[in-house]
Structure formats: C-alpha cells, structure tokens
Structure 1
Amino acid sequence: MASTVVVLDNGAHTAKVGLANQEEPRVVPNCIMKAKSERRRAFVGNQIEDCRDTSALFYILAFQRGYLLNWDTQKTVWDYIFSKEGIGCSLDNRNIVITEPQMNFPSVQEAMLEMLFEQYRVAGMYKTTAADLAAFNYVADSEERTTMQTLNCIIIDVGYSFTHIVPFVLGRRVLEGIRRIDMGGKALTNHLKELISYRQLNMMDESHVVNQIKEDVCFVAEDFKEAMRVHQCEKKRKEVAIDYVLPDFTTIKRGYVRIPGRPRMDEETMQTVPLCNERFTVPELLFNPSDIGIHQVGIPEAVADCLKACPWQAHRELLLNILIVGGCAQFPGFLPRLKKDLRALVPDDLEVSLICPEDPVRYAWYGGREVATSPNFEEFVYTRDDYEEFGVHGLNQR
C-alpha cells in the first residue's frame, strides 16, 4: 500500500520527510542544536522553534563534508522524525524511500542498511539519490510525452556541502559525467561569517543568524566585474548598500533589512550590520570557488565539462533540460547568470534552457512520492527477507 511508504530525502542541512499519501513533506533541520540560553537542553529538529534565544547556537551535524558519518546524531534526529512530535508514525514494518549522496561510500551504505533493518525494523527500502528523484519528478511534471526511458536532462543539485552536476541520458545516470564541486550553502555561510567578523563585528559563533542574513540579502551579480564598481560610483553603492538589523531575541526573533526613512520601534537602539559588496561576492563562490582557494571550476564550467562525457547526440536535449534544485538555487539572479556563463561555453548552435522549480528544496521529495506511488514500486524494494538472505551485499547486486 502506497500510504504506508515513508519518503525521506535525507539532506546534510535539512531532512524532507513525509508519507507518500501526503501533499507536503515536513522540512526538519538534520542536526542537534544547543543554545547558550538553555544549556541543559538539546534541541532536535523543529524543537528549535521553542528556543527563546538562538544566539551563538551550536550545531552537532550528522553529515561531515557531505557524508553521513555521525550515526548517533542521525539516530537522534530520526527518532524525533518518526515520533508523535515528528510525522506521527514509526518506521516499523513500513517501506521507505531514502536518499544518499552521489558515489556514497560502501561502508556508509552498509551502516544505513543495518540501522534501518535492525533498529527501525523497516519492511523494505528503496535507496536512491536526490538527483534521481528530481529527474523522476521532472518526468512526472512534463507536459510532453516524456518517459524516464527517453529522458535526457542535467540535474544541478546545489546542496549544503557540495554542488553535483548529474547528467541523465535515456533515463540513466551517466556516471562518467557526474561532476562535484566542493562548494555549497555551508561554505557560503562560513565565508559570510568571516567577512562580517573581519569588517564589522565578530559573528564567528553566529552560524544561525548569518545563515538568515545570507538568505535575506544575498544575490548573484549578472556581471561580477561591473558589480564590483559599487565602490567607485555613489549611485551604484546606494543601490547595493543596506543596513541589516540583528535580532535581540526579545522583541526581534529574526533580523531584517532596515528601510530608510521608515524606522520600526526601538530601531535606533538595535545593533545593525552594514553590508555592501558582501551581498554578491558570497554567492559568487558558486561560479568561482578559487576566490577562497578551492582549486576547482565553477558551476558553468563543470556543466560544460560534464557534457564531454555524454554522447554528442544527446547534447542538444541535455542543454534544453537543465534542472536546478537545492537551497542555493533560490538566490535572486542565479539563473540569468548561469545561463549567460553557460551560453559562452557551449556551441552557438545549441540552445540553453534552465528550469528552476518553485520549490527547489522539496523538489526531490516530490519525486520520491511519485516513485513510492508508482504501480511497479514493489519490484524495486529491497525487502527484509532479501536483507536476511543476502545481507548488505545483495543491495549492490540489485
């Protein structure tokens, strides 16, 4: 029964989880958080909403450098997710669709299998990647008569730890074409933290607040060299420079951009951070990781390079179906800039078309729901009987 299937897109920053018969997933922070204000209590998942003061929030992450290594933390988060407080149902005797990173280590895969079958007693599991689910959802969404077997597309997954470029030709991942850039939302937040701490005020312990600043004010410049002239022209500077009012956690829970001439109550006494070129130099790392010493190409060059590993007959369709998912896809100006840079790198006779869904964070989860409710889903599930007979090695044979 489709209703019993749990879909879990287990990301490094957030876990998107829900039952296959639900319209929307819950988005839960995939970590344990500790606050200075309440030292005795650890906050798991959405419990952080109960915390009065989230300054100097300390994160204990399940993922390290993009891979699931801290199993104690992950188990604590999963226990919360599959409790009454979470989605309100246990995994006991249910099938689960679960995601893992691209090219995941065999030892991590084995540990996940063991935990799901032996500790959570699942009936069966279908293990996949977020890119596969995004591609599946893309087929389900397409108006034309595209099937998974005829799909040619490139998925750009701009995640928390990495950015992956994954090409699909005739519905199958081209393994030689997958490219990984060690740049994602976490590195951008850390870089913004360093810039603010160096130029304005020490915020090195304020990952939570700086992440909110990044989400609220950062954008991608269409022409970076031109944008950097903000310091030569007063008119341009006025367009970019802002004051960000920091939360005090008594009257203001989340910071905001000060609107000149329209002060809010007590705004004069609030602490503010002036921001100017930080707003676009931080997301620029997705296009030029070498700016902070990471000797890798940016997303446009990685896409152009991934094409070389794909059959030339598919190039036209691949460039017409570039789907962007992940939290960092939401930066204003990201799509036009990526299109402009890609256009300069690929042959002139090929068109470039980028698609960014309305909800790039949950897009893969919706693909998981499509998989779980498809008529032949049961054929692909690795059941408890399979696990008891073949152990962890049977899954890889599959």
Structure 2
Amino acid sequence: MYNNTSVVITEPYFNFTSIQESMNEILFEEYQFQSALRINAGSLSAHHYFHTNPSELCCMVVDTGFSFTHIAPYCRSRKMKEGIRRINVGGKLLTNHLKEIISYRQLHVMDETHVINQVKEDVCYVSQQFYKDMEIAQAKGEENTAMRDYVLPDFSSIKKGFCKPREEMVFSGKYKTGEQILRLANERFAVPEMLFHPSDIGIQEMGIPEAIVHSVESLPEEMQPHFYRNVVLTGGNTLFPGFRERLEAELRALVPAHLPVSVVFPANPVCYAWEGGKLLAHNPDYDEMVVMREDYEENGHCICEEKFDI
C-alpha cells in the first residue's frame, strides 16, 4: 500500500512496549511502509533547535500539549532520560475545568467541549501578577478591566464564537441583540494558572517552572547553565498570551542569580516538532535511523528496540 514510503511517527516518552509493538505491526504489516522511524516529539523539536542554533550544546524542551506536559533535556540531540519530567496537565484538563466553572456559574456547557475549547483559546491568558488580577476581576462595572463578554455560536447566523470588543460591552442591563453571552472575568487567567500551580485544583504535582528546575538539578552541574539558557517552548498551551514572560519570571526567581535564564518562543510552537521532522527527513543520516521493512520482517520487534531510542 505504502511500500515506497517512509514514515516518521511520534510517541510519548517511556511508551509501553505493548503499544510500541502494536505500532510496529500497524506500520509494517498493515500499511507496509518501506521504512519507519518512531521518535519522541521532543526529539524532533530538539533537532530543529540545534539545526537553527548550531553553536548550542544543550536545550530543555518544554512540550505542553493536549493531554500532558513533558520537560525533556537534550544534549547534542541526545535526550537525557534521567532529567525527563511529566506533568499530567494539558489543554484537555484546562478546557474541562473551564467547562465546569462556566456550568457552575452561568450556563450548562458540559457537553460543549469544542465550543468551550474555542472560548479558552480566544479569551484566556497567563497572569503576570495573579493576586492583583484577582482583585481587578472582583471590581464592579467598567473598573473590572479583566471582564470580557463572549458571544456563543448558534451555528446558523453565528458560526464561530467571538469576544465582544470592550467598547461594545454593556455593563448594566442586558444586550438587545438576543445573542447568547458568556461573561468571563477571573476564569480568563485562573484556568491557565493550572499549568503553573496544578495544586490550585488539587492535583498534587509540580508546576512547569518547578519541574524545569527539578529536571536541571538532576543533571551534571557543569551542564546546568546551558539548559537554563535554552528553554524551548512547544505545544499549544504556550500560545496563551503572557505564557513565556511568566515562565521566564518564575524561572528567574528559582534559578541561582549568577546563571542566565532565557526562554525561547518559536514562531510556530504547535508545528515546531513537525518542522524538526521535516528537517530530519532531509538529513543525510536519516537512512541510518530508520528500520526497513525487510529488516523488520527478518528480525521482528527487537530490531526496532535497538534502533529507536524511545
């Protein structure tokens, strides 16, 4: 079917052997790819970073996506397994939490995952001063600069929800237009705050800044400054306005004063790993990294275990 095609497929760190073997079977037996490379998304991001910054030796990939967040240190494109940290907080948890808040306070939206995910992407942001923003969000009327009105889609005249411009907001009384409105204030920054303090909603795990420091401190001391200087953000959650600035500020507070801290925010953090895969596919060493179908048919799963450093 795909017998002239090579495939690159990503999987999480420390994936179960049973899932890896099933993936090998699907790729080679069902779809019959000519060759395959199973790799972590963070490895592709690191390859991209080292390709564009050849003078750097180390980087710390922060991959915060839909299901979870991974913090993974790389040195010369090799991942350092002892430093990998996983936080069970991702975009799905944030969307579900926002659904619960809105359902409790305003409108039952527990079945509207897609719509509320769009609300989250359109109006949420990362607070730089959480307690100060909380005070602002409690103010009444126009003094509440955190408040936004979100027009929900009705899927006939309004196909996609949108945020009302501040100057069109009605602070007393109701809108005459008949649109269905969500009024959001502290939800806008309290939801992304879970990436920094999961314990706020009872998840007993480290936030991203703490996990980065925990990871770096598990690595050789002479390498640590290089990781703090090259923290690379990937994944959809990094698109929240203020995410990079907040992470850099919190890291700066946690890291020893004599070490420089720099957080790199790529132009497209969602596709950063994909672009790394594209670069890798054109790499002269690519053919050495993949497993050929003939090799798999001859040696089975063990050849994949040897080749893929997952």
Superposition TM-score tier, normalisation by shorter sequence: over 0.9
Find out whether 1:376 has 2:282 as its counterpart: no
Deviation at 1:93, TM superposition (A): 2.6
TM-score normalised by length of structure 2: 0.94
Aligned length: 302
Distance 1:391 1:271, change over 3 A: same
1:250-274 CA distances to partner (integer Å, 9 max, x unpaired)? 01111011125548xx971111010
Find out whether 1:92 has 2:3 as its counterpart: yes
The AA in structure 1 aligned to 2:152 is L
1:307-329 CA distances to partner (integer Å, 9 max, x unpaired)? 11111111111111100000000
Q: Which has the higher strand share?
A: 1
Q: 1:312 aligns with which of 221, 228, 233?
A: 221
Find out whether 1:138 has 2:44 as its counterpart: no
What's the counterpart of residue 153 of structure 2? 247
Distance 1:202 1:309, change over 3 A: same
What's the counterpart of residue 211 of structure 1? 117
Q: Quote the Cα distance in structure 1 between the aligned partners of 2:153 and 2:219.
A: 49
Counterpart secondary structure, 1:93: coil
What's the counterpart of residue 55 of structure 1? none
Distance 1:236 1:387, change over 3 A: farther
Q: Quote the Cα distance in structure 2 between the aligned partners of 1:322 and 1:358.
A: 15
Which residues in structure 2 correspond to 1:63-212 (within 5 Å)? 91-142=2-53, 145-146=54-55, 151-212=57-118
* Conservation of the 8 A alpha-carbon contact between 2:70 and 2:85: yes
* Conservation of the 8 A alpha-carbon contact between 1:94 and 1:122: yes
* Conservation of the 8 A alpha-carbon contact between 1:179 and 1:306: yes
* Conservation of the 8 A alpha-carbon contact between 1:230 and 1:236: no
What's the counterpart of residue 302 of structure 2? 393
Q: 2:257 aligns with which of 342, 345, 348?
A: 348
Q: Structure with the greater relative contact order (CA < 8 A, sep ≥ 6): 1 or 2? A: 2
What's the counterpart of residue 222 of structure 1? 128
Taking only the aligned residue pairs, the percentage that are identical comes to 46
Q: Quote the Cα distance in structure 1 between the aligned partners of 2:176 and 2:12.
A: 44
The Cα RMSD (Å) is 1.7
Which residues in structure 2 correspond to 1:6-45 (within 5 Å)? none
The AA in structure 2 aligned to 1:120 is Y
Q: Which has the higher helix share?
A: 2
In structure 1, runs of 5+ residues without a counterpart are 1-89
Distance 1:267 1:171, change over 3 A: farther
The AA in structure 2 aligned to 1:210 is I
Q: 2:190 aligns with which of 281, 289, 303?
A: 281
Deviation at 1:168, TM superposition (A): 1.1
1:349-396 CA distances to partner (integer Å, 9 max, x unpaired)? 001000111111101000001110111211111011111111112211
More displaced, 227-236 or 388-397? 227-236
Counterpart secondary structure, 1:274: strand
The AA in structure 2 aligned to 1:293 is G
* Conservation of the 8 A alpha-carbon contact between 1:237 and 1:276: no
In structure 2, runs of 5+ residues without a counterpart are 170-174
Q: Quote the Cα distance in structure 1 between the aligned partners of 2:254 and 2:3.
A: 50
1:284-315 CA distances to partner (integer Å, 9 max, x unpaired)? 00001111111001000000000111111111
Q: Quote the Cα distance in structure 2 between the aligned partners of 1:225 and 1:304.
A: 24
TM-score normalised by length of structure 1: 0.73
